[in-house]
Amino acid sequence: MTDPYHLAHEWLSSTYDVPLELQRTPVAETPRAWVFSAALRPVPGAGTAAPSAMLTSLVCVPKDGAPPFHPATDDPWGDLADFERDPRPRDPAEQARRTNARGAVLAAHASVGGAPASALPWQSAHEGPTWWDDFLRRYFPTAEVGPCPDWDTVIAAVGEPGPGTAGVVWVRRELHGSEATGHLLYAHNNDGQVALLDPQGRRLARLETENVREIVLARISPAATQPGVARAPRGTADLASAVRAAEAWLAHVHGDEVVLVEPSPADETARGWLFACNTRAFLADGNPQHAMLDAALVVPKDGSVPFGLPNSDPWNWFERWDQGATPGVDGFPLPPEPGPAAWFAPTMSPLGAVLSVTDYTDWQTLVAGLTEMPVGSRSVVWLRRNDRRGRESVGLLCLAAQTETGLVLIDTARDAPAELENDGVRSLHLIQYR
């Protein structure tokens, strides 16, 4: 049997660009996995030889040889229990969204300030020996930071300065005396009432007491949470600054994989810029399997976080936003979280082997082809859209199945029957899989 320590070590080495320390023996073992604790090696000259705590300290090593993964930050114990019940390999992109406590807190803070925001997926670059200090220095430079002995102290500390006070709470957990996966919560004083939120879990925070090593509060003064104060220095009043903001966001989310496509003054709207983007690989070789599904990016003029458009009914959503609607208010949906750059491989691989890909130009012909397929056949339909300038923009994936009672075509973004839209359709691809 392969040594699980070496499996964990190899996975960490391939995932991170910074040196880590891994405990030699598992901190826990279940019938289906070993669980290890990792830490970040100190920075030379930092004045300490002690390893630094990671946010995602735990590494789960499946016993069936599947790739290791970090358990979810909002509920690592529940995530490990889920793996016992369903030991299928974890999708890296999905797991990155289950460990994005950092991005979720930033999105919550932006939303409190009146700006729409999407939580960026976790990236290994977010972890570093000084990740906590770097995180606060970049986003909350005036925060007052200190440990709190209990949750009552956290609530009192956020309540004391008055309405508008906010805070980021780092919950450090432990397992059998070793550092375990932690979490980030968001505290907000709303008219004198302090709420503790779990932005990643999209719920009120669970005020954990078991297996908690330390609670650290970074308190943010009311002045620093005001929308105008937070956004004025980085507004995007012209095309050049909007392009810079878009490129910075793309680099943060996708590294060097994605670039803007022909940005111009014609992309400007009332509240921002509607850009097109795609992968460098697709723009170089034209292979649709290298293309983006989410090939639109909105940069608000107020300097708030850029975001993508919903895959379902994107133009009506954008028109409402451009006319002043606030996402998350009065039933207006929040923008989606960013997905992978090239969607085809990470989406199709878990479904099964691709048998064929057929291109269509209209729904009528595509549906006719689907109805001729035998009962039990399954396919993915990729709707590719053009924006108003004719560039590829946000697309949509539908699941098609031929059943005993007829054809079923589901819009995966809404989990509802697909609407066969025709305006702005660039092309349709029918992807049949086993």
Same domain, 105 and 200: yes
Q: Which of 64-68, 195-199, 223-227 has the lowest mean pLDDT?
A: 223-227
Same domain, 266 and 288: yes
Structural domain includes residue 327: no
Structural domain includes residue 331: no
Give the pairing of strands 416-417 and 425-433. Answer: unpaired
Same domain, 213 and 236: no
Structural domain includes residue 334: no
Q: Which of 67-71, 152-156, 227-231, 241-245 has the lowest mean pLDDT?
A: 227-231
Same domain, 214 and 259: no
Helix, strand, coil percent content, the chain, rounded in steps of 5: 30, 30, 40
pLDDT at 217: 98
pLDDT at 229: 33
pLDDT digits (tens, 9 = 90+) for 221-239: 986 654 433 343 346 679 9
pLDDT at 338: 79
Name the domain boundary from 229, 252, 285. 229
Note the pTM of the prediction, 2 decimals: 0.57
pLDDT band at 49 (very low <50, low <70, confident <90, very high): low
Name the domain boundary from 187, 212, 229. 229
Contact 218, 143 (CB under 8 A): yes
Q: Do you know the residue count of the chain?
A: 434
CATH number at residue 357: 2.30.30
Structural domain includes residue 330: no
Cβ neighbors of 137 (< 8 A, separation 6 or more) are: none
Same domain, 70 and 22: yes
The three-class DSSP label of residue 53 is: coil
Nearest alpha carbon to residue 57 among 181, 177, 164: 181
| Across 290-307, average pLDDT | 92
Same domain, 220 and 285: no
pLDDT(60) > 80: yes
pLDDT(86) > 90: yes
Same domain, 8 and 40: yes
H/E stretch holding 45 reads none
DSSP state letter for 119: P
pLDDT digits (tens, 9 = 90+) for 381-395: 999 999 999 999 999
Alpha-carbon distance of 172 to 132, in angstroms, equals 12
pLDDT band at 44 (very low <50, low <70, confident <90, very high): low
Alpha-carbon distance of 221 to 167, in angstroms, equals 8
Name the domain boundary from 95, 130, 164. 95
Same domain, 69 and 114: no
pLDDT at 126: 83
pLDDT at 227: 40
Instruction: Count structural domains, the chain.
Output: 4
